[in-house]
Structure 1
Amino acid sequence: MDTQHLQAFVAIAENGSFSAAAERLHLTQPAISKRIALLEEQLKASLFDRIGRQVALTQAGQVLLSKAKLILGEVIAAQRAIADLQGDVQGKLSIATSHHVGLHYLPPFLRELSTRYPQVKLDLHFLDSEQAYHEILQGRFDIAIITLALQQDSRIQSQTLWHDQLEFVAAPTHALATQSHLQLADLSAHQAIMPDTSTYTTQLIKTLFDDKKLPLDITMVSNHLDTIKMLLSIGMGWGVLPRKIIDEQLEILDVDHPPIMRPLGYIHHSQRTLNNAARVFLDLLQNNTPR
């Protein structure tokens, strides 16, 4: 089977449409359709049910999907292994990162990588940490640099690089900002603005309130911390933000609670061979990050 045909098949299965797959692979939709037609002809089986503009995998398609991912993964691994025999640091390095880490921690490392190894083609994607974690498990990216999960999957290798100190904050005009020696119970009585409850950060905060058997009244959610910061700055509620992005628009609340730290670092799939570019970038991160 032609690997380009399999790439088109996997792209359609993951994106749910021929047009989205064509955009992802930088191809025209007719080119994508032709590849699938040739693959179906070769396998003598229909791979997709076409319902309007949406497509769904047939039973044959479901059987092929996991096999196709394995085949493509092995092809990529073989290409990397052969290229790395030369000892050159080049080729594509695919990285997933959260907006917070990508904007506030990674720039100097990305700049050093591009300066020292100009032959490396950086493929950078900004995703929520939880989505990036899932994509690493699926073998989509070489590495992810994110907020680390509270519990790691056994297939994931991880390394903490930074500890992000979180602070309870609100607008200077918020009722909580004028009080001292606040308890979690005081915060519980007011509306909070947080990331989605499925995120590692909100799970961490929710655990604190659950341990005290206190409700956490989350009235608005956003996974973009800059959006949360804006909403908090105009007095819409209280929230929890990394100290790194707090400025004069917000007041750090005087909450009687030990410092809250969340680990930031990199992850990669333990069964995915890292190419030279990925290895040197991880070395840059590990050797130039203050402990």
Structure 2
Amino acid sequence: MDIDLLKTFLTVARLKSFTLAAKELQMTQPALSKRIKRLETLVDSQLFDRVGSHVAVTEAGQLLRQQAPQIISDIEDTVQNIRDLSGKVSGELHIGTSHYIGLHLLPNYLEQYVDTFEQVDVNIEFIDSELAYERVLSGDLELALLTFPPQKDPRLEHELIWKERLAIVCHQDYDLAHEEEPLKQLQHYPCILPPAHTFPRELFEVQLANAGVSLGKVKTANYLEVIAKLVACKMGWTLLPTRLLTKPLVSLSSKQFLSDRDMGIIYRTNKTLSNASQELVKLLKSEKNI
């Protein structure tokens, strides 16, 4: 079966719209409709009920939606395994990375990898750590680079590459910075943290609880770089990697006050990595910063 048909089907099922799916896949809507029609002919079942501008997945479509990701993964793995028999490092390398790692840590290795393995087509997807975790588990991504969650899933290998020191920070002229014992006054000032139910937020909450810090008002922002900018505008205090600690931000905590955060590579325990992925893992582990 043509996996492009399955990928098109999954996109429509996720977006519940032929129009939005065609836009995301960068193809015309008639071309997308032909793909879906061809797939429906192959499985001899209607996969979508059209309701105005929206679509609903039929019972047959629900079954295909459950099994399609594994079918795609099995086909792609088989093709890659055949290519890897030659020992060559080639093909496509599709990885997910958190925004922070992709911006600050991965570039140190990426140029070297691309120069060394010119026959590998590297595709990088910037996504939140928790989503990358799910997509590696589902087989949609072969590996990902992210902040490790407090509770690691045993179905995944976790290769520790980076340990990074965290600090409690605020603007140097913020009232909190001039408190006699600022760490004991944190709950009286607003805190800016990543959104709830994200790996960084869970990690930060554990760190603060272990340090005996109680939170007062909590504001949220999506990326650490954005949080740093908001704190630089005197909107509150936060936890940041010391890499982002630049003027006018100052640290309120000692090196021993918080533990490091762990970041690295994840991939499925029951899957043999492609040659391209193995070489990336090898490169990262050879120069890991812990």
Q: TM-score, normalised by structure 1?
A: 0.92
Pairwise CA distance, 1:119: 1.1
* Contact 2:187/2:217 (8 A) holds in 1: no
Alpha-carbon separation, structure 2, partners of 1:199 and 1:143: 19
**Residue identity opposite 1:130 in structure 2:** E
* Mapped pair 1:258 → 2:257: yes
Aligned match of 1:128: 128
Supply the distance in 1 between the matched residues of 2:52 and 2:173 (Cα, whole angstroms).
52
- Going from structure 1 to structure 2, the CA distance change for 1:222 and 1:70 (only over 3 Å counts) comes to same
| Separation in 2, partners of 1:270, 1:51 | 42
Cross-structure match for 1:228: 227
Alpha carbons of 1:212 and 1:171: their partners in 2 closer, same or farther (altered >3 Å)? closer
Q: CA deviation at 1:210?
A: 4.8
Could you tell me the percent identity over the aligned residues? 33
In the alignment, the residues of structure 1 paired with residue 21 and residue 94 of structure 2 have an alpha-carbon distance, to the nearest angstrom, of: 18
Instruction: Tell me how far 1:49 sits from its aligned partner.
Output: 2.3
Q: Distance in 1 between matches of 2:209 and 2:287?
A: 38
Number of positions where the alignment pairs a residue of Structure 1 with one of Structure 2: 290
TM-score norm. by structure 2 comes to 0.92
Equivalence map 1:100-179=2 (5 Å): 100-179=100-179
Residue equivalent to 2:286: 287
Q: Which range moves more in the overlay, 100-109 or 47-56?
A: 47-56
Secondary structure at the residue paired with 2:164? strand
After superposition, the Cα gap between the structure-2 partners of 1:167 and 1:124, relative to the gap in structure 1 and judged at 3 Å, is same
Structure 2 residue identity aligned to 1:146:
L
Greater CA deviation, 172-181 or 155-164? 172-181
Distance 1:102 1:11 in 2: 25
Rounded to whole Å, the distance in 2 between the matches of 1:145 and 1:128 is 10
Alpha carbons 1:172, 1:249 under 8 Å: kept: yes
Aligned AA for 1:277? A
Counterpart Cα distance in 2 of 1:253 and 1:237: 13
Q: Which amino acid is 1:121 matched to?
A: D
Q: 1:165 to 1:16 in 2, by over 3 A?
A: farther
Runs of 5+ consecutive residues of structure 2 not aligned to the other structure: none
Are the equivalent residues in 1 in contact too, given 2:97–2:125 (CA < 8 A)?
yes
CA deviation after TM superposition for structure 1 residue 43, in Å: 2.7
Structure 2 residue aligned with 1:87: 87
Q: Which amino acid aligns with 1:156?
A: L
- 1:1-291 matches, within 5 Å, as 1-183=1-183, 185-210=184-209, 215-254=214-253, 258-291=257-290
Say whether the 8 Å CA contact 1:147–1:264 is kept in structure 2. yes
* Aligned partner of residue 239 in structure 2, secondary structure: strand
Cα distance in 2 between the residues matched to 1:54 and 1:273: 40
The answer to whether the Cα contact below 8 Å between 2:81 and 2:274 also exists between their aligned partners in 1 is yes
- Partner Cα distance (2:241, 2:209) in 1: 21
Displacement after TM superposition at 1:244 (Å): 0.7
> What is the Cα deviation at residue 28 of structure 1?
2.4
Counterpart-to-counterpart distance in 1, 2:228 and 2:2: 49
Instruction: Give the counterpart letter for 2:131 in structure 1.
Output: Q
1:257 to partner: Cα distance: 6.0
After the TM superposition, which of the residue ranges 24-33 and 152-161 deviates more from structure 2? 24-33
Over 3 Å counting, the alpha-carbon distance change for 1:214 and 1:130 in structure 2 is: same
Q: Unmatched 5+ residue regions in structure 1? A: none
The whole-number CA distance in structure 2 between the counterparts of 1:197 and 1:289 is: 29
- Residues 64-102 of structure 1 show CA distances to partners (whole Å, capped at 9, x for unaligned) of 112222221111011001100111111110111111111
Amino acid at match of 1:166: L
Which amino acid is the alignment partner of residue 124 of structure 1?
Answer: I
Distance 1:283 1:58 in 2: 44
C-alpha displacement of 1:126: 0.8
CA drift of 1:211 comes to 5.9
